Structure 1
Amino acid sequence: MPLDSALPSFVPAGAPADLTVALVSYRSLSFLPRCFETLRVASAGLRVRVVVVDNASGDGGLEWLATHAPDAVVIANADNVGFGRANNQVLPLLGEEPLLLLNTDAFVAPDSLHAALAALAADPALGLLGVRLVDENGLPAPAARHFPGLVSGFAQKVGLKRGDPHADELVADPATTPGAPALRPCDWVVGCFYLVRGAVLRQVGLFDPRYFLYFEEVDHCLRTRQAGWQIACLATTTVVHVGGGSAAQMPGFAAGARQVSVLQVESALLYWRKHGGLLGLMTALGLGLLADAVLALKAWAKARLGRGAAGDAAVHARNARQWWTLARATGFGTRPTR
C-alpha cells in the first residue's frame, strides 16, 4: 500500500525540524507498519524527520520503507553494528532540534510527541526524557530506572532481596492513580522512547560505541547527569512497548529465561570498568561468578529433592563460565569483542 496522503508526511534531510526520530531496525519488518502509523498520527502539527537505520536486516524492511515510507531518511548498513552505533549514525543529520530514539516495537500514543516536547520545553534543566511504558496487555513496564548497584543486584539475583525488583521503577498514570506525579525524576530511562535535548547531544554526545547492546542508555544517562542535566519520566502519555523483538534475534542473545545474554554480560563488564575502574570490574566479575555459583548450588539441591529441573544447575554453571570467558575476551572490561 502506498503512502497514506491523509496522514502527515515527514520532513526531508536538511529541512528545519521540530524533532528528529531515530529508528534502528533489525529484522523488525513485522513492527514497521504499526510503528509508522502511530508515529505519523502523533506527528500532526509538528515538523518531524524520521531516520531509519537498518542493521543489515535482510527481511524486506528496506523494500517496505521504499514503498510505504518514502519520506523517511534511510541508512542501510552492510552489517549489524549494534544499537548504540546505529543511533550514533543519525547525529550528522541533526540540526538544533531534540532527538527521539524510538524502538520499532514501541508504539506512541497520539499525544506522545507533543506532550514530551512540551515537557522538555517547560524545564530548561531537563536534558533527557522518557515516558510511561505499558506492554501489549496494558500492564505497566519499568521506565524510570535507578542506576545499577553491584551489591543490590547480587542480592536480588540470589534471592536475598525479595519482591519485584522493578516495583519502584514503574511509572503510575496520574489519570488513574491519585497523587501520582506527572513528571518523575529518575537516574536513567529505557531506550525504547528516549528523548534527548539538542544541547545535551552537543555537550555530551550520544552513545559510547563500545556497547553493542545493553548499558548504552545507562552510561549515557550517567554522563548526562554528571554534566549537570536532569533526567525524568513523563507519566501523562503512554507508549506501548512489545520488547525484545529485535534483540532476541541477535547473536549472543540467550533464549532461556535463566541464561544470561552474552551481550548483557559483555556490556556490564565494559560499564563497570569504565565507571568503577579495575576495582569495579573485579567486583562485578566476582559477584557475577559468586551469584551463579550460589544459584547452581541451589538448583542442584532442588533437583536432588525433586523440586527443580535437573538441567538448571548446568545453566548457571554455563553463566559463570561466560562471565570469566568474556572478562578475558574484553581485556577485563577495556575493549569490546564486536
Structure 2
Amino acid sequence: MSSCAGPAAGEPERVVVVVVLYNSAEHLADFLSSLPAGLAGVDHELVAVDNDSSDGSPDLVEELAPDATVIRTGRNGGYAAGINAGVAAAGPHTAVLLLNSDVRLRPGCVPELLRRMRATHAGIVVPRLTDASGRLIDSMRREPSVAHSFWDAVLSAKVAGRVLELGETVTNPAAYGVEQWVDWAEGSTQLVSRECWDVCGPWDESFFLYCEETDFDLRARDAGLGTLYVPTAEVVHLEGGSSVSVDWLWRLQQVNRVRLFRRRNGRAATLAFWLVTLLREASRAALGRSKNRAAARGLLEPRLLTRSEGAR
C-alpha cells in the first residue's frame, strides 16, 4: 500500500461522523448514546443526513443531539448521496466515520481505528462486527469475480468463503481474529482518511443502495489506499428489518453487482459474470424463492448489458 499521510504536524485528529437516516427513529436513541464511549474523547462533529424520512428521524436527532448538524435532503437519493451530502456539509476534519443508524459503537472503537489507520497508512479501516446476540458478522469481502460467483452458486457463499478462499465473502471465523488487508468490507461502519476521500472523490450516487461501498473501497485500493480490517475495534450491527420489500432489495443488489463488475472488466468477463449470477438466481427461483425470482427478472432486463455507463 502506498503511504497515506496522517494529519499535518501538530494538527489534532478531528472526525466527522456521518449517519444517513431513513425512517431510523427506532434506532436513534441507542445509536447516539453509544457515540461518546465509542469515540472516547476524539474531537468530532456529528452530521445526520435525512433521506426524506416520514417518522420524525431528523427531529429526534435535533432533540437528542442538539450540537449535531442535521441535513434534510427532501428526497431519498440513496445511501451514497446521503454520505456525500454529509461530508460536503462538514467542517475541517482528518477522517470521516461513516455509520448506519443501526450500529452501536463499542467503547474505544474509534481511537483504535484511528491508531491503526495512522500506523499502517490505510485509507479505510473497518472494525469487527457482531450482531445483537454477539455473533460474528462476516464483513470482509474479496473482489467480485467470475470464479467467486461460480463457487458461491455451486457451494453456497458460506461454504465457498471458508474453503480455499473460493467465495467472495470471508466466512472462516478464524480470519476475523487477525488484522489484515481486504479488497472491500461491509459498509455499515467505515473510517475513511481525509486523504483517501480527497484522492477517490465522493461515493458513486448511481448505486442507490448496494455496491456503493464496494465501488469506493476498490477505487481506494486501486489508488494504493486500501481497506484494513481491525479486530481490536468492535461494533454491534443490529441488521434490523426493513419496511422495503426484501424481493426488491435482493433484486437491486444482484443487478448492481453486475453493473459494478461491468465497469471494472471487459465484455467477455462481464457476460460470464452475468451468466453465473443469472444461473444462481434462476436455480433458486425454481425452488419457489420469490426474491431470487425477482432478481432473475432484473438480470434479464436488456439494458443491464447494453446501455452505456461510463466508469468513474
TM-score by length of 1: 0.78
Q: Residue 285 of structure 1: CA displacement?
A: 2.3
Query: Is residue 103 of structure 2 the alignment partner of residue 106 of structure 1?
Result: yes
Structure 1 range deviating more: 135-144 or 268-277: 268-277
Tell me if structure 1 keeps the 8 A contact 2:149–2:277: no
Q: Which has the higher contact order (CA 8 A, sep 6+)?
A: 2
- After superposition, the Cα gap between the structure-2 partners of 1:89 and 1:17, relative to the gap in structure 1 and judged at 3 Å, is farther
Report the Cα distance in structure 2 between the residues aligned to 1:62 and 1:208, rounded to whole angstroms: 24
Task: Report Cα offsets for 1:241-277 as digits up to 9, x if no partner.
Answer: 01154xx334xx425xxx8723212311320121114
Q: 1:63 aligns with which of 49, 59, 79?
A: 59
Q: How many residues align?
A: 293
Aligned to 2:261: 272
Q: Which range is displaced more, 222-231 or 20-29?
A: 222-231
Q: For 1:225 and 1:97, how far apart are their aligned partners in 2?
A: 19
CA distance in 1, matches of 2:305, 2:240: 25
Aligned to 1:88: 84
More helix per residue: 1 or 2? Answer: 2
Deviation at 1:329, TM superposition (A): 6.0
**Residue matched to 1:149:** 145
Q: Is the 8 A contact 1:144 1:232 kept in 2?
A: no
Q: Which amino acid aligns with 2:227?
A: I
Structure ID, larger Rg: 1
Question: 1:288 aligns to what?
Answer: 277
Residue 130 of structure 1: SS of its match in structure 2? strand
Q: Distance in 1 between matches of 2:34 and 2:157?
A: 39
Structure 2: gaps spanning 5 or more residues: 1-11
Q: Contact 1:188–1:231 at 8 Å: present in 2 too? A: yes
Q: Cα offset for 1:54? A: 0.6
The corresponding residue for 1:238 is 234
Amino acid across the alignment from 2:139: A
- 1:219 paired with 2:177, answer no
Q: How far does the alpha carbon of each residue in 1:173-219 deviate from its partner, in whole angstroms, 9 at most, with x for none? A: 99xx9xx43x2221112111101111011111131111111111111
Contact 1:146 1:187 in 2 (8 A): yes
Q: Which amino acid aligns with 1:86?
A: G
Q: Name the counterpart of 1:73.
A: 69
Q: Which amino acid aligns with 1:324?
A: L
Residue 249 (1) aligns with residue 243 (2)? yes
1:319-330 equivalent positions in 2, closer than 5 A: 319-325=295-301, 327-328=302-303
Q: Secondary structure at the match of 1:334?
A: coil
2:126 to 102, 124, 130: 130
Task: Please tell me the residue identity of whatever aligns with 1:84.
Answer: A
Partners of 1:106 and 1:37 in 2: how far apart? 11
Give the equivalent residue in structure 1 for 2:3. Answer: none
Residues 212 and 69 of structure 1: is their aligned pair in 2 closer, same or farther, counting only changes over 3 Å?
A: same
Does 1:26 pair with 2:22?
A: yes
**TM-score normalised by length of structure 2:** 0.84
Q: C-alpha separation between the residues in 1 aligned to 2:283 and 2:256? A: 23
Please give the secondary structure, in 2, of the residue aligned with 1:163. Answer: helix
Matched letter for residue 101 of structure 1: L
Per the alignment, in what secondary structure is the counterpart of residue 253 of structure 2? helix
Residues 165-184 of structure 1: pairs in structure 2 closer than 5 A: 165=161, 169=170, 180-181=177-178, 183-184=179-180
The alpha-carbon distance between structure 1 residues 186 and 333, as it changes in their structure 2 partners (threshold 3 A), is: farther
Question: What residue is the counterpart of 2:115 in the other structure?
Answer: 118
CA contact (8 A) 2:99 2:190 kept: yes
Letter in 1 for 2:246: A
1:122 CA displacement? 1.6
* CA distance in 2 between partners of 1:91 and 1:277 (Å): 33
Contact 2:50 2:58 (C-alpha < 8 Å) held by counterparts:
yes
> Offset of 1:63 from its aligned partner?
1.7
8 Å Cα contact 1:143/1:189 also seen in 2: yes
* Paired AA for residue 62 in structure 1: P
* RMSD after superposition: 2.7
CA positional deviation for 1:79 = 1.0
